[in-house]
Structure 1
Amino acid sequence: MAHPYVLILYYSRHGSLTAMAKEMARGVEQVSGIEARLRTVPAVSSNSEATEPAIPAEGAVYCTEEDLRHCSGLLLGSPTRFGNMAAAMKYFLDSTSSLWLSGALIDKPAGTFTSTSSLHGGQETTLLTMALPLLHHGMIWAGIPYSNAELSSTTDGGTPYGASHLAGIKGNNQLSSTEARLCRVQGERIARLALKLM
């Protein structure tokens, strides 16, 4: 059997979700016996002739259906677009009906993470709405428990629904130490749950 992994699937326009995904991978890899696999999705365009290269110029490679099918756990990340996930992530998830039909993701743990330009820019609604297709797939959605004291004291990102980041209006805020820690905590939690549920 192949080595178990947590798929960290994200879409990033300005680098915040990439930074969060890397911190989550650090958390996953704190757990013995499982590894992190970073993947992204291509941008979408209303121009039907627009195409993306088969391999991105930089960063994680594009996710395949097989990456998703064989994961032991999933962390799904997207920036907020009007309180919901970005179209690129929704487009990818909409293409996973064969996994739904086969039940390939049933009983696998999943979590969500996001970034916004403003503090109340829809972080929690994005985390919740990203969970909906995962619940339809039969996944077990897990957030961040309040046993992590940072949730009670954070003045930037971090929610019980999943890790979050306040990127700022220009999108150039670095992850705070609290945000980075909560990303690692969430990665570690999904990794531990994945091993327990295998």
Structure 2
Amino acid sequence: MPLLAIVYFSITGTTEKLAHAVARGADGIADVALCRITGDDIVSGRFQNESLFETIDHASAVAFGSPTYMGGAAAQFKAFADASSDRWSQQRWTNKIAGGFTTGACASGDQLHTLTYFSILAAQHGMLWCGLDIPGGEDPGGRNRLGSQLGLATHLIDDDLPPSDLSTAEYLGRRLAKMASRNC
């Protein structure tokens, strides 16, 4: 069975809820490794968690997740991405399937920029990007309600994630796992 590594940073727990929903979607199709970036992983401004990197090295697919802060990925996620340059120089993640998810404070809170950042990070590593194939605003179940084809973008309504966004996260996990299965 392929391995899906879900690499994410979460400060309030919202992005973590999305990460767990992505994992539920992949259940039974791929093994899943939840790889949470924590403050302890960052020493003197540099991400240092070799075990997390080794998990990604062994994965067939990777989902990147971060809240959108000030129009981009959180600094803690960026520290991880910057430290991945050692893997980049060796192209150790080439041909892995990649996708992304993010949440922001507003419906149009520049989450697309975070997803674009993730896709560029994946491209630099030679990864193959997997977006959503659910037309925004057209799904009977309300999935992909913000209409981002690049990946899952969401925001809180009444201080909680809507069920449709969690369903979209599960769908993204299932899609990544299925693509990884084909790529093995």
* TM-score normalised by length of structure 2: 0.86
1:101 partnered with 2:89 = yes
2:134 match? 146
CA RMSD of aligned residues (A): 3.0
Paired residue for 2:32, among 29, 36, 55? 36
Q: Secondary structure at the match of 1:27?
A: helix
CA positional deviation for 1:102: 2.0
Paired residue for 1:92, among 76, 80, 86? 80
CA positional deviation for 1:66: 0.4
The separation in 2 between residues aligned to 1:63 and 1:122, in whole angstroms, is 31
How many residues align structurally?
Answer: 181
Report if the CA contact (8 A) 2:9-2:37 is conserved.
yes
Report if the CA contact (8 A) 1:151-1:159 is conserved.
no
1:40-189 correspondence to structure 2 within 5 Å: 40-43=36-39, 48=44, 64-146=52-134, 149-150=138-139, 157=146, 159-167=148-156, 173-189=159-175
Q: Secondary structure at the match of 1:64?
A: helix
Q: Which has the higher strand share?
A: 2
CA positional deviation for 1:156: 5.2
Report if the CA contact (8 A) 1:151-1:158 is conserved.
no
CA positional deviation for 1:164: 2.2
The separation in 1 between residues aligned to 2:122 and 2:43, in whole angstroms, is 28
Report if the CA contact (8 A) 2:135-2:144 is conserved.
no
Comparing 14-23 with 64-73, greater Cα deviation is found at 64-73
Q: Which runs of no fewer than 5 residues in structure 1 stay unpaired?
A: 55-60
Comparing 121-130 with 181-190, greater Cα deviation is found at 121-130
The separation in 1 between residues aligned to 2:56 and 2:135, in whole angstroms, is 30
Deviations 1:112-132 (A, max 9, x none): 100101111111111111211
1:57 match? none
The separation in 2 between residues aligned to 1:139 and 1:64, in whole angstroms, is 17
* TM-score normalised by length of structure 1: 0.80
The separation in 2 between residues aligned to 1:151 and 1:77, in whole angstroms, is 26
Q: Which has the higher helix share?
A: 2
The separation in 2 between residues aligned to 1:153 and 1:4, in whole angstroms, is 29
